[in-house]
Amino acid sequence: MIVDNLANAANYFSLHPLFEKAFEYIRQLNLETVETGSVEIEGKQLRASIVETVLKKPEDARLETHKKFIDIQIPIAKEETFGWKSLSTLTSSESGYDEANDIEFFSDKPSALVTVLPGEFVIFSPEDGHAPLIGEGPTKKIILKIAVL
C-alpha cells in the first residue's frame, strides 16, 4: 500500500508503465465538477470509474483483494478511511476468488486503518487486502484499475 499526495504522484511513475498515464488522466479532471461514470483510458489495461456511494462503519467494511489489477483510489468529496491487511496473512476467504470480477472477499479484520483526504491517493497492489469506504455519509471518489503486467 502506498499513500501520498497527488502533488507527489510523479514519484511513483517508475513502479508501473501506466501510472504516469493514470495520474495524467486525474490531473486533467476538474474534480469539483467531474461526473460519475466509467472510461477506458488505455483499453482494458487502464480504466477509471468516478462513483458516488455511501461510506460505512468499520465493522461493515469487507477486506478484498484483486489478482489482475492494481487499484488507485482517490477521495473527491470527503476523507475516506481504508482498512489494510497483507494478503499473506488473510485466512478467511468468504467464497473464494471470483475470476470474472477479479475480486475475493475476506472476513478477516484489518490490521491497520489509514485515512485518505481529498487531494491524496492510495495504491493497493495484489498483495494488499483492503477494505474501502469506511466513514460516514455519502461520498464521491475515483477508482483507477491498472492491469498487472
> Which pLDDT belongs to residue 131?
98
Distance from CA of residue 149 to its chain's centroid? Answer: 18
Average pLDDT over residues 44-67: 97
Instruction: Give the 3-state DSSP-derived string for the chain, with helices as H, strands as E and coil as C.
Output: CEEEEHHHHHHHHHHCCCHHHHHHHHHHCCCCCCCCEEEEEECECEEEEEEEEECECHHHCCEEECCCEEEEEEECCCCEEEEEEEHHHCCCECCCCECCCCEEEECCCCCEEEEECCCEEEEECCCEEEEEEECCCEEEEEEEEEECC
Q: Which CATH superfamily is domain 2-147 in?
A: YhcH/YjgK/YiaL (2.60.120.370)
pLDDT tens digits, 81-127? 999 999 999 999 999 999 999 999 999 999 999 999 999 999 999 99
Q: Is the pLDDT of residue 30 over 90?
A: yes
Residue 146: closest CA among 38, 14, 44:
44
Q: Is the pLDDT of residue 145 over 90?
A: yes
Angstrom distance (rounded) from CA 76 to CA 50:
9
Whole-model pTM?
Answer: 0.96
| The total number of residues written for the chain in this structure | 149
pLDDT tens digits, 1-26? 999 999 999 999 999 999 999 999 99
Average pLDDT, the chain: 97
Domain residues of the chain, as ranges?
2-147
Q: Is the pLDDT of residue 32 over 90?
A: no
